Structure 1
C-alpha cells in the first residue's frame, strides 16, 4: 500500500487491488487443489483392491508393518462399523464451517479497513502522546511499522523459496501433484517453527505412494531445509532486514512459540525488533546520561 500510494495510486484503488490479490491467491490454491483431490479420490477407489493386496503381501515393507500392527484388520473393522450420525454431530460440523467462513470474512473486512484507514489510525494514536514527546514517538513508531512491513515481506520471500525448492525436488522424482504440494508448503511455511514441519510430513506421506526410499529421502530433505531456513535464511533475510541479531532472531521465535503458540512465533521477530529499537533510542541514551 505504501508503494502504491507513493506512486500516486488512490488509496481506495490500492485497497481493492490488495483484496483482489488475496482472493486470487486463495482461489488459485483452491483451483489447483480441488481437481487433483477429486481425481485422487477416484483413483484411490479404483486401486483400493491392488493396495489391499500389496498391504497383505508378507514380503513387502508395508506387509511386514501390517503383520506387526494389524492395520488391515483395524481398517476393516472401522469400515464395517455402522456410521453414527447424530444431530449433535451435524450441528458441531455446521458450526465449525460457519465459524471458518465468518472468521475469513472478518479477516478480509479488517484488512480492508486497516489498509484504508491506517494513516488516520496512526495519526490518532500519535495524538494521544503529549506534544513535547510526540516527534520522538512518531519517529520510533514509524520505524517500528516499517520493520513490521519488512518482516512480512521477508517471510513471504522465504515461503516462496520453500515452495520453489519443494517443487524442484518433487518434479525431479516425478512425484504426483507437485504444484499442489509446493503451494501447500509455501502457505504452511508462513507459520514459523511448525509450518514447514507439518508440510514436510504431508509431502513425505505422498511420496510414500511412489516408493519407501523416496519417502526417506524426502524426510531428510525437509530436515536439511528446515535447518537451512532456521539458521541461514531467517537470520540473513528477516533478521538483517529488521536489524535483529541472528541469535536473537532464533531465540525470539522459540520463546514466542513456547509462550503463545503459532501467534507468538508469527509476531516474535517484529516484537524483538521493536524492543531493540526502544532500548537503543530511549533506554541506552538515558543510561549514558545517568
Structure 2
C-alpha cells in the first residue's frame, strides 16, 4: 500500500480514543469541522491522559432562584393540601381506627397480665374478647325484655300524659300552661310533617351506620390486640437506639394509663347506674331500668354525659311530683360530688393524674372536634400529652 493511502495515527489511537472518527490522509489539511471536533474533544483527551476530571460546568438551574423557590413552595402547599383533603375524606374511617386502637390499648394490660401467667397470646386475647362479649350479651339479654316492657308501658301511658298536659291542676299541665309545650310540639309536627318519612329513613340509616361501625371497631380491636407487641415494637424501632429504652418506658406508661382509665371509667359508670336505679325505684320514678342504663352509658363520657343524663332524669322525675323532681336533682348533684371527690380518686389513684381544669378543657375540645368519641378519649389523651411534656419537653427546657 502506498504512503498516500495510509493514515496518520492521531494522538491516543493506541488507546482507542479515535475509534469511530473518520481519518484524513497524511498531509491533507484539516477541515473546519475536524478542527471544531478536536477542540471539543481536547478537554476529554487531557482528562483521560492525566486521570483528573475537568471542572464540571455549573448547573443552569439555580436552586436559590425565585422561580425554583416558588415552585418548591407551591409543590409543598399542593402536597399538604392533598394530605389534608385525604384526611377529611377518610375522617370517619380514621376515627373508627383510632377508637379501636384506643380500646385495644385499654385492654392490653389485661391481656399482658394473662400472658404473664403463662397463657399464650392468642388464648389471652380470645379470653378477653369472649369475656367482653359475654358481659355485653348477658346485659342485653337481661335488659332488653325489661326495656321492651317499659317501652310498651310508656306507649300505653302516653294518652294519660297528653291528658295531664291539658289539666291545669297537674304538674305537666302547669308546665304546659307556662311554656306552651303542647302548642310548640304541634307546631313543630305540622311544620316537619313532610320530612317525617325522610327523618325515619335517616334514623334507620344512622342505626345501621352505628351497628356497622361497632362491628368494624370490634374486629379491629381483636386484630390490634393480637398484634399489639409487634405494633409497639415497630413504633419503638422508629426511635434512635440510644433513646429507645426511655421510649419503651414511656410507651408502657401510656398503655398502663389508658387501660387503667378505661377500666376505672367503666367501674364508676356501673356504680352510677346502680345507685340511680335504686333511687328511682324507691321514689317510684317511671322507667327506672331504662333511665339507669342511660345513666351508666352517658357516665362514660365525662362532663357532657353527666349534664345530659342529669337533665333527662330530672325531667322524668318531675312527672311524679315537683318534690320528687327537686329531690332527684339534689341526689344527682350530691352523687356527682361523691363520684368526683371520693370514687374517682379511690379507683384511679396513681393511674391518670390530670388537673381538673385540664380535664374540663380537654373534654370540651374533644367533644367539639370528634363528638362523643372525642369526649370519651379526651382525658387519657390529655394524660398522654402531660406525660410526654413531663418526660421529654420539660427536661430539655430545663437543660437549655
* Global fold match (TM > 0.5): yes
Question: Which residue of structure 2 lines up, in the alignment, with residue 271 of structure 1?
Answer: 381
1:16 aligns to 2:110 (yes or no):
no
Name the counterpart of 1:108: 218
Q: Does 1:123 align with 2:233?
A: yes
Helix, strand or coil: the match of 1:129? Answer: coil
RMSD: 3.3
* In structure 1, C-alpha distance between the alignment counterparts of 2:369 and 2:194, rounded to whole Å: 38
Q: Which has the higher helix share?
A: 1
Are residues 138 and 245 of structure 1, via their aligned partners in 2, closer, same or farther at CA, if it must alter by over 3 Å? same
Deviations 1:212-270 (A, max 9, x none): 32122112222333344345544554363224445544554455445554334333332
Aligned match of 1:143 in 253, 262, 265? 253
Contact 1:244/1:273 (8 A) holds in 2 = yes
Distance in 1 of aligned mates of 2:398 and 2:194: 71
Q: Partner residue of 1:195? A: 305
Query: Using the alignment, how far apart are the partners of 1:19 and 1:93 within structure 2?
Result: 30
Residues 23-70 of structure 1 deviation map (CA, whole Å, 9 limit, x = unaligned): 334334433443334323433444445444433223223223333444
What is the distance in 2 between the residues matched to 1:269 and 1:246? 10
Contact preservation (8 Å) 1:193, 1:257: no
The answer as to 2:312 corresponding to 1:215 is: no
Gaps of 5+ in 2: 1-110
- 2:390 equivalent to 1:280: yes
Q: TM-score, normalised by structure 2?
A: 0.62
Task: Give, in whole Å, the separation in 2 of the partners of 1:279 and 1:90.
Answer: 48
TM-score (norm 1): 0.82
Greater mean deviation of Cα atoms: 73-82 or 220-229 = 73-82
> How has the CA–CA distance of structure 1 residues 65 and 260 changed in structure 2, closer, same or farther, with 3 Å as cutoff?
same
Q: Which runs of 5+ in 1 are unaligned?
A: none
Query: Deviations for 1:145-186, whole angstroms, at most 9, x for unmatched residues?
Result: 111112212212221221232133223324344344323212
Q: What aligned pairs does 1:1-290 form with structure 2 within 5 A after superposition?
A: 1-72=111-182, 84=194, 92-230=202-340, 233-234=343-344, 237-238=347-348, 240-245=350-355, 248-257=358-367, 260-290=370-400
> In structure 1, what is the Cα distance between the partners aligned to 2:140 and 2:256?
32
